[in-house]
Structure 1
C-alpha cells in the first residue's frame, strides 16, 4: 500500500480540536516541524499532547503553545521553553510531568497493547503517592493534583503501576522512509519517535528521504510500516531547516579566552 500523502496540510487535515497527539523528538532532534506547522495553520485548539518536551519558545511544539492551542501536556521535563514554564505556573496549562523512562515505556506499552506495567521509578514520591501539581490556580494554589497510584511489593522493593498511553494521532520525523511506511531514524531522533509512532492510532511521518519499497535493508528498519499510516516526503529546504537548543563553543588555539 502506497502511504505517501502529497502535502503536510492534507496529512493533518482530519486532526480536530480536542484531539490527543503523541509527538516525536528528543530536545529539538527529530521533531516533526513541518507537520507541526501544518497543524498550527489549521487553527485547531484544545490539544492533549504527549511528548518528551515541548520544544522551545519559537520552534517545535512551542509554536502551538504560544498560541494556547495545547490544553494538556504530558512530558518528562519543561526544558528550555520559558513559555511552557510560565503557562504551567500561572495555571493556564495542565502539565503531567512523568519520569522520562516511564514516559517512554508508557508509549511503547500503548503501541503494543499492554494496558499497564509496574516500575520501581517514582516509588516513595508524589508520582506514587499523589499530590503532584497538574494545574495551578491563579492564586498559586494547586487546582488539580495527581491521584495516588497502585503500588505493589515484589521481593523487597516497591513498584508503581503505570498505565499505558495511546493517542488519536502520532506525529514523527524520520531520516529515511519508504512508501509502505518503514522508517529509519538518525541518532537521538530514534529515542522517542518510534514510541510516539507506535502510540498513535493514526500515525503521520514526515521523511527527509523517500525511497521505494525494498530499498531499505530489513535489518536497518527501526520502525515497521504497520505502525505508520501516512508518509509526507520533505523538500530539500524543509530538510535543511533544523535547530539545536544550545550551542556551546570554546576558543580555538591562539584565540583570546
Structure 2
C-alpha cells in the first residue's frame, strides 16, 4: 500500500530558481515537534473534545472552528507525560467540521505540524489575503516519505498503510501568508497536531541547514519534487540540506493507480466505521 501515495499528484514541470516555498519532513520518523528555533506551538490538550468555536492562539491568531479528538490509532502526538498520545485536530470523518481556518495576527513565513494518518483527501491551503500562496495534499507530499514513516510511531503496526510525519512549510524571504485552511471533504479524516509557526522566514545564515529533508518546491499551485538539481540556485540549496527520495523505483502507472484506488476504498470504509 505504501507505493499508492507516491507522488502521482506532483507536476513534473521544472520550477524557476525563485520558487516561493519549500516543504521538508523531519529526519527522525519519531519526531512530532519542529526543530526550528523561536517558534510558537499550539496543542489541543486544553480544549474540550468535540467542536470548539472561535479558538484563540495567544499572540499568534485564531481558529474559526476546530474538532478535537482524544488520541487513537490515527492521531494524537505522544509526549513524556502522555506516552499514549494527546488530543488532536480532526477535519472530516463525520465530525461536522470539514475545514478549520487559522487567521494569523501577523503574516508568517513558517508553519509546521505533525501530519498523521495521511490520506489523499487531506488538503492544506496557504493564503495571503485572498491570494492562494500554496496548496498541498497528502498525496502530493507524504508519498515521498520512506517506509520508516508509515504506521503510528507508538506502534508501527497500527495504521501501517498511512504516513505519520512532522512536516515543515517554509516561505522564502519574499513569501508569507496570513491564513491557513485545513480541510477534508468528509471522505476520510484529516488528523494533525502540534501546530507550529514563526513570523520570520528561514535564513540559512542564521538558522543553518533546513530542518529535515527537502521533499517539494512550490510556486503557487505548482508542486515539484525537490532534487539537488531543482534546489540549485535557490536559497534552499544553502546549508547542505539532504534531499529525500522515495525508496525504490516507482510502480508502473496502471499498477499504481489500481493500488491508489484500493487505498481510497479502504479509507472510505475506515471513515464509515469511525465515530466522532
What's the TM-score, normalizing by structure 1?
A: 0.24
Which has more strand, going by share of residues? 2
Q: Report the structure number with the largest CA radius of gyration.
A: 1
TM-score by length of 2: 0.23
Structure number with the bigger relative contact order (C-alpha 8 A, sep ≥ 6) is 2
Which is helix-richer, 1 or 2?
A: 1
